[in-house]
Structure 1
Amino acid sequence: MSEKTCAACDYPLDENAIEVRVGGQTVEVCCEDCATKLREAHASATASQQAAARA
């Protein structure tokens, strides 16, 4: 059986994993820092897509 890993850094997850909702999907991360990084990356990508759509 494969081990679950953090969606941001690939660190092995344990019972303290944090669920984060990004782009309509729930992913698991190892810590609040990784959760913040994913949220910021999603916000940046979404803003870039919206800017491109307006151009």
Structure 2
Amino acid sequence: MSEKTCAACDYPLDDNAIKVTIGNRVVEVCCEECAQKLREAGKEH
């Protein structure tokens, strides 16, 4: 089984992963800082 990693920084995820919706996709990130980066990147498109 492959290990899940943060969609923003590739850090290994644990049980505290944060789910972020970008467009019509849901991705998991390791922290609120990465979640904010992805939310802002998603607004640009």
* Count of aligned pairs between the two proteins: 45
Runs of at least 5 residues in structure 2 that lack an aligned partner in the other structure: none
* Greater relative contact order, per chain length (Cα 8 Å cut-off, separation 6+): 2
State the structure with more CA Rg. Answer: 1
TM-score by length of 2: 0.94
TM-score by length of 1: 0.78
Runs of at least 5 residues in structure 1 that lack an aligned partner in the other structure: 47-55
Structure with the largest fraction of helix? 1
- The runs of at least 4 consecutive aligned structure 1 residues that moved more than 6 Å come to none
Identity %: 71
